[in-house]
Amino acid sequence: MPTFRDLLATAKSQIREVDTAEAERLVAERPGAVVVDVREADEYEQGALPEAVHIPRGFLESQIENKMADHDAPLVVYCAGGTRSAFAARTLGELGYTDVVSVAGGFNKWKNEGRTWTTPRTLSPEQRNRYQRHLLLPEVGDEGQQKLLDAKVLLLGAGGLGSPAALYLAAAGVGTLGIIDMDVVDESNLQRQILHNLDRIGDRKVDSAKKTLTALNPDVNVVTYDVRLGADNVLDVIDGYDVIVDGTDNFPTRYLVNDASLLKKIPVVYGAIFRFEGQVSVFKPYEGPCYRCMLAIPPPADQAPSCAEAGVLGVLPGIIGSLQAMEAIKQLLDLGDPLVGKLLAYDALEDQPFRKFKLRRDPECPACGENAGPIVIAEYDELCMPHPIQPPS
């Protein structure tokens, strides 16, 4: 029967060990090198190597492939003293990782030698409880939840689409939610705009939205813009946001936001609803098509009636707005296959209500095409062709 010493000696004979100086050099010089911390959470929280990916030894087999898809990336594995990391390095070799080293002496030696380390940001006990179901998902976990808390999403409109999107993004812990809307709450909104309620009739929609979202999750900083989005302010308003969720209902705003988002390189999660039908897509600047690639010119006004004219079933924006929230989170966490270059169409009256269409980038697109001129942010009329705000003198 082998002893622990025998097992450790065997493991060490099957892996490559480096000292702390060599580990530091590897991290600095090898492009794409990833540091993996296999200690327990309480050890990690008190201090870790900068940028370390934390996977406790007990979860290594089950979580490493979700966090490290590239099996040939250089991995520098450490624990407190070099024992657990030796076993971890051997396991990684068995899982097909080809370039793994274990740090002899581990974090204790590293720290004692005065090498750089940091105290990782961690979730509070309240946050740990609130986001527990996220933390259970290896694709989200602590790291993903921190990303969401750091993320900034701008919602265009606190109406039918903006309501469910804002509620789910706030519940998910997206740390900053910007909301732009210049409307007031009207009783006829309550059939679908679930951010608002009877007590808020006559209130600014952005104020009502802020009340609802803050009551749901105090982690969320709600930034309100009670203004009309125009050529004069669009670049300032969208600046610094990671994702824009478009819940507007008019063509001039969509074109304005499209052009501004291309300039700022911010992905736009597009949603639209009409009677019983809706559609969703993600316009990721210069990686996929933009709104103008899909719709170079808007349809004539009589073929594009608004909700106010055509009606909409109240649940429909709940479905489409929720899909937008999901696509926004996929963008923020780089999860799965986004709806970039795809249009997801939904028809509530069908028994198979979802259909997907390919959208291609248009090489002739006036905004993002190869020969497109510089983008000029300008006011748009109903035809959505840019024209100068002031006539040239």
* Contact residues: Zn ion, CB under 5 A: 290, 292-293, 365, 367-368
- In sequence order, the β-bridge partners of residue 155 are 179, 245
To Zn ion, the closest distance from the beta carbon of 339 in angstroms equals: 16
The nearer residue to Zn ion, 110 or 291, going by C-beta atoms, is 291
Judge residue 115's burial from the number of C-beta atoms within 10 Å of its C-beta, 0-12 exposed, 13-18 middle, 19 or more buried.
Answer: middle
To Zn ion, the closest distance from the beta carbon of 290 in angstroms equals: 3
The pair of three-digit structure tokens given for residue 275, joined into one six-digit string: 């009677």
The nearer residue to Zn ion, 213 or 262, going by C-beta atoms, is 262
The nearer residue to Zn ion, 162 or 341, going by C-beta atoms, is 341
The nearer residue to Zn ion, 196 or 254, going by C-beta atoms, is 254
To Zn ion, the closest distance from the beta carbon of 368 in angstroms equals: 3
The nearer residue to Zn ion, 87 or 380, going by C-beta atoms, is 380
CA distance 193 to 184: 12
To Zn ion, the closest distance from the beta carbon of 292 in angstroms equals: 5
The nearer residue to Zn ion, 231 or 295, going by C-beta atoms, is 295
The pair of three-digit structure tokens given for residue 192, joined into one six-digit string: 């679908």
Judge residue 73's burial from the number of C-beta atoms within 10 Å of its C-beta, 0-12 exposed, 13-18 middle, 19 or more buried.
Answer: middle
CA distance 60 to 79: 12
The nearer residue to Zn ion, 114 or 299, going by C-beta atoms, is 299
Within 10 Å of residue 289's Cβ, how many Cβ atoms?
22
Write the secondary structure of 11-23 as one string of H (helix), E (strand) and C (coil).
Answer: HHHCCEEECHHHH
To Zn ion, the closest distance from the beta carbon of 286 in angstroms equals: 9
CA distance 38 to 265: 36
To Zn ion, the closest distance from the beta carbon of 296 in angstroms equals: 9
Give the helix, strand, coil percentages of the chain, each rounded to 5. Answer: 40, 20, 45
The pair of three-digit structure tokens given for residue 1, joined into one six-digit string: 């029967």
Q: Is the C-alpha dihedral spanning 19, 24, 28, 32 positive or negative?
A: positive
The nearer residue to Zn ion, 80 or 293, going by C-beta atoms, is 293
To Zn ion, the closest distance from the beta carbon of 245 in angstroms equals: 19
Which residues have CB under 8 Å from 389's CB, separation 6+? 231, 232, 378, 379
Contact 142, 120 (CB under 8 A): no
To Zn ion, the closest distance from the beta carbon of 341 in angstroms equals: 11
